[in-house]
């Protein structure tokens, strides 16, 4: 698909972006609007409450039916297995981030946007069971390993983290068409542009928070608690490097 939106031979018809929290996915969403227009992207202003629209798979499935083929790009904080709930084939893409940096960004973002938590310590927010189990603990492994059968609460579904789950996450991540990294976002855009013929325009940064000093003890806890995410992230870096060696358009 070109900048003007016409079809490019062999370009996929639909796309599914696995939006891992705090990986600059909102920035990508805004640039995708330039390429496809708001009417072709999920969610848009017709899809109801924003939080529900981006974390509740059942809501996505219902809106998919209502919008009857108009959706070309699905975004949201949906595990990869959510594609199995939709009637369609997708080219898939995602962006990952170094796990400790991702978690610290999430904590800053939450405290900034949640008035009742602005005076709470990062440690207290981190220890909140809903946030820890739903959006922090080995979050990237969960996003790619979760199956549609075990997904009872979307991204908030609690799971046991085992070596088998990590291996499943690696296997499924290896099947994602375009994998990028938050710290190398321009490279990710370049791959999308070359591979699909997209014109995403200039950067449109969103949801940024300024780094804040945090205790080294918290960083150590995050690294220990998210050891599987760190291993998945390292696997992804090797995967992308291998793809680049085989195909310059996938670097």
- CATH 3.40.50.300 at 15-250, yes or no: yes
20 near 102, Cβ under 8 Å? yes
**How does pLDDT run along the chain (251 residues), one tens digit per residue?**
344 344 455 678 999 999 999 998 888 998 999 899 999 999 999 999 999 999 999 999 999 999 988 999 999 999 999 999 998 899 999 999 999 999 999 999 999 999 999 999 999 999 999 999 999 999 999 999 999 999 999 999 999 999 999 999 999 999 999 999 999 998 999 999 989 999 877 665 555 566 677 899 999 999 999 999 999 999 999 999 999 998 755 44
CA distance linking residue 112 with residue 144, whole number of Å: 28
* Residue 154: Cβ-neighbour burial (10 angstroms; 0-12, 13-18, 19+): buried
Would you list the domain boundaries of the chain? 15-250
Is pTM beyond 0.85? Reply is: yes
């Amino acid at each position: 698909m070109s900048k003007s939106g016409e079809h490019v031979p062999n370009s996929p018809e639909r796309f599914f972006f696995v939006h891992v929290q705090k990986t600059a996915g909102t920035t990508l969403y805004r640039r995708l609007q330039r390429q496809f227009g708001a009417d072709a992207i999920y969610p848009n202003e017709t899809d109801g409450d924003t939080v529900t629209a981006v974390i509740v798979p059942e809501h996505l499935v219902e809106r998919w039916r209502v919008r009857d083929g108009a959706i070309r790009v699905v975004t949201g904080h949906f595990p990869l297995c959510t594609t199995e709930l939709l009637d369609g084939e997708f080219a898939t893409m995602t962006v990952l981030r170094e796990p400790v940096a991702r978690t610290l960004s999430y904590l800053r973002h939450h405290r900034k946007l949640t008035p009742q938590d602005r005076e709470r310590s990062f440690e207290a927010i981190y220890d909140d069971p809903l946030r820890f189990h739903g959006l922090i603990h080995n979050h990237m492994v969960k996003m790619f390993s979760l199956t549609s059968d075990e997904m009872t609460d979307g991204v908030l579904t609690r799971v046991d983290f085992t070596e088998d789950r990590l291996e499943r996450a690696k296997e499924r991540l290896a099947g994602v068409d375009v994998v990028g990294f938050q710290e190398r976002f321009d490279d990710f855009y370049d791959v999308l542009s070359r591979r699909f013929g997209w014109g995403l325009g200039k950067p449109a940064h969103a949801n940024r928070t300024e780094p804040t000093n945090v205790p080294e003890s918290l960083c150590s806890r995050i690294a220990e608690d998210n050891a599987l995410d760190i291993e998945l992230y390292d696997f992804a870096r090797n995967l992308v490097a291998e793809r680049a060696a085989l195909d310059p358009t996938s670097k």
